[in-house]
């Protein structure tokens, strides 16, 4: 893969390029997908079930000033140069999810709340679109509480969900 291919997919194609799929042993059954966008890196955590539904993944966006900053941060995050990345947009790739651990998502959310998830560095903002994950991130929701009070939901909905620090 090279920079020109990424730029073509972003500007003429889908608007993004999926460049990495990693199965993390600490979150058994979850896949971490990394996407490059114009001035953002997108990180998704998903299960086989999420893929089947085409929804439900945990998505985080990391904003940068320039496309060059995106590439530099992604290379550091993925620990590999662009030339070693795979363009999953054009490559048919069957998914091989390990047997899921029912507590993997709760562990992921605990690590998000405690700022232990590994994310790209030197971003201008992290955007969290999901209400539950935003609540976990800001400490208003416990990672293992899936029954959230309406007042908390309304409070989270009122927030700007672009955070400057992780």
The DSSP code sequence of 36-61 is E-SSEEEEEEE-HHHHHHT---EEEE
d(CA 165, CA 42): 16
Tell me the CA distances in angstroms from 18 to 21, 23, 42, 88, 125, one per residue in order. Answer: 8, 15, 9, 5, 20
Quote the pLDDT of residue 47: 84
Predicted confidence (pLDDT) at residue 93 exceeds the cutoff of 80: no
pLDDT band at 54 (very low <50, low <70, confident <90, very high): low
Which residue in the block uniquely carries the two structure tokens 């959310």? 109
- The torsion angles phi and psi of 148, rounded to 5 degrees, stand at -100, 135
Quote the pLDDT of residue 101: 87
Q: Model confidence over 10-47: pLDDT tens digits? A: 988 789 999 999 998 999 999 999 999 999 999 999 98
Q: Model confidence over 105-162: pLDDT tens digits? A: 999 999 999 999 999 999 999 999 899 999 999 999 999 988 888 999 999 999 998 9
51 burial (CB, 10 Å; 0-12 / 13-18 / 19+) is middle
Contact 100, 27 (CB under 8 A): no
Contact 37, 15 (CB under 8 A): yes
Q: Where are the domains of the chain?
A: 3-163
pLDDT band at 56 (very low <50, low <70, confident <90, very high): confident
pLDDT band at 97 (very low <50, low <70, confident <90, very high): confident
Quote the pLDDT of residue 79: 97
């Amino acid at each position: 893969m090279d920079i020109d291919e990424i730029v073509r997919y972003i500007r003429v194609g889908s608007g993004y390029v999926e460049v990495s799929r990693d199965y993390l042993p600490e979150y058994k059954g979850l896949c971490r997908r990394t996407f490059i966008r114009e001035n953002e890196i997108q990180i998704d955590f998903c299960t086989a079930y999420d893929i089947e539904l085409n929804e439900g993944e945990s998505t985080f966006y990391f904003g940068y000033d320039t496309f060059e900053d995106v590439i530099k941060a992604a290379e550091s995050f993925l620990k590999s140069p662009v030339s070693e990345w795979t363009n999953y947009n054009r490559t048919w790739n069957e998914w091989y999810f390990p047997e899921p651990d029912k507590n993997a998502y709760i562990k992921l959310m605990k690590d998000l709340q405690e700022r232990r998830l590994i994310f790209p560095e030197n971003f201008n903002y992290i955007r969290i679109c999901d209400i539950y994950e935003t609540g976990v991130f800001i400490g208003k929701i416990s990672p293992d509480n899936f029954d959230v009070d309406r007042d908390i939901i309304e409070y989270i909905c009122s927030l700007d969900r672009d955070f400057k620090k992780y």
